[in-house]
Amino acid sequence: MALKVLTVDDSKTIRMIVKKAFQNYNVEITEAENGVEGLAAAAKIKPGLIILDITMPVMTGTEMLERLKGDADLKNIPVIMLTAESGQDNVLNIVKQGVKDYMVKPFKGEDLIERVRKIMPLEAKAEEADDKKPGRFFTQVEDVVVLTLPAKVLRPVAVEVEGSLQAKIKEMAAAPLKKMVLDMGGVSETNVSLIKLIITVFQDCQKANIAVKLVANAKQGEELKGFQETSQITAVHSIEEARAAM
């Protein structure tokens, strides 16, 4: 069963950093923006861990912690406090309140995970679903590997594709396979992440002596000509056309 973690912080930025820190673990994250929302969420979901900011509007983390400790159902939930203040008095106050640990901002996600691991075991995520598996973008048509991009290529997708591309290129070298088609025909929007990804694919394939052809529709082909980095790439309109040209 997933560990329920409640992150209580008025800053969406910090909540996102906490969420990202736990992304590789079997953890269900619930977010709250202040102590009042945090208490309500804690009572409802009974989390296994609370990551609690101190300075928040409506109800501070300190007040929320006092109320947690006064509630028989919630008082044993381990709490890690987050604070921007490293002063001696502040740290002493936090320790006195009976929290399991505290972290002074700025901090890195991996530092948070390290603190959590000192309190409780964290289970890595189970085998990923098909749509999350590395290599899910790649198929093979005879001796050609086809890299099919999803409809939306934002930065996280681009990073994922780049990561699995390296592994695929190694596989291709071992096979050996020397041809790749990059199919962006299903991409709905041309953006900088997409352009950077196309360049990376071409450069990495070139380094590995893999021939690569780009498949794009007519509109996309025109858009690519508008970017200096991709203006020299000639796109074809189908995988068959790409294979025939290799």
Partner 1 sequence: MIGIQEVDLKGFVTKAVQGVFKTMLSVPLELEDPPNIESVTTGKHIVGTVGFAGAVMGNVSIFVSREFAREMTAAMLGMTVDDIGSDEEVHDVIGEVCNMVGGDLKSRLCDAGFSCSLSIPSVTFGENFRTESKGWDRHERYGVRNSHHSALMEVYIKAANQ
Kindly tell me which residue out of 2, 20, 206, 238 binds partner 1, with binding defined by CB under 8 A. 20
Alpha-carbon gap, residue 229 to 224, rounded angstroms: 8
Report the alpha-carbon distance of residue 39 to residue 67 in Å, rounded. Answer: 8
| 62: its two tokens | 């300190």
**Rounded to an integer, what distance in angstroms lies between the CA atom of residue 172 and that of residue 149?**
19
How far apart are CB 148 and partner 1 at their closest, in Å?
21
b/e code 222-244 from CB counts within 10 Å (16+ = b): ebbeebeebeebebbeebeebbe
Q: Of the two residues 88 and 228, which places its CB atom closer to partner 1 in the complex?
A: 88
**Residue 193, phi then psi, degrees to nearest 5:** -60, -40
16 binds partner 1 (CB under 8 A): yes
Please count the CA atoms within 13 angstroms of the CA of 152 that sit on its side-chain side: 3
- What is the rounded CA–CA span in Å between residue 246 and residue 243? 5
Site string for partner 1, 132-151 (x = CB under 8 A): --------------------
Residue 195 Cβ vs partner 1, minimum distance, rounded to whole Å? 10
Contact mark string toward partner 1, 47..66, x via CB under 8 A = --------xxx---------
Residue ranges of the alpha helices (H) in the chain? Answer: 12-21, 35-45, 61-69, 88-96, 109-119, 155-174, 192-207, 218-225, 239-245
Q: Which of residues 16 and 36 has its CB atom nearest to partner 1 in the complex?
A: 16
Stretch that binds partner 1, among 36-44, 106-114, 136-144, 211-219 (CB under 8 A): 106-114
Q: In the bound complex, what is the minimum distance in angstroms from residue 14's beta carbon to partner 1?
A: 6
Among 62, 93, 139, 191, the residue binding partner 1 under the rule CB under 8 A is 191
Shortest separation between residue 92's beta carbon and partner 1, angstroms? 11
**Under the criterion CB under 8 A, does residue 24 sit at the interface with partner 1?**
no
Q: Determine, following the binding rule CB under 8 A, whether residue 93 of this chain makes contact with partner 1.
A: no
Q: Which residue has the tokens 């997409």?
A: 194
Beta-strand relationship, 144-148 and 138-141: antiparallel
Q: Which is nearer to partner 1, 148 or 193 (CB)?
A: 193
Judged by CB under 8 A, the residue of 89, 110, 127, 142 near partner 1 is 89
Nearer Cβ to partner 1 (92/244)? 92
Q: Is 215 within 8 Å of 238 (Cβ atoms)? A: yes
Please state whether the peptide bond connecting residue 106 to the residue before it is cis, i.e. omega within 30 degrees of 0: yes
Residues contacting partner 1: total by CB under 8 A: 30
* CB closer to partner 1 out of 195 and 233: 195
* Binding residues for partner 1 (CB under 8 A): 10-14, 16-17, 20, 55-57, 83-90, 105-108, 154-156, 191-193, 196
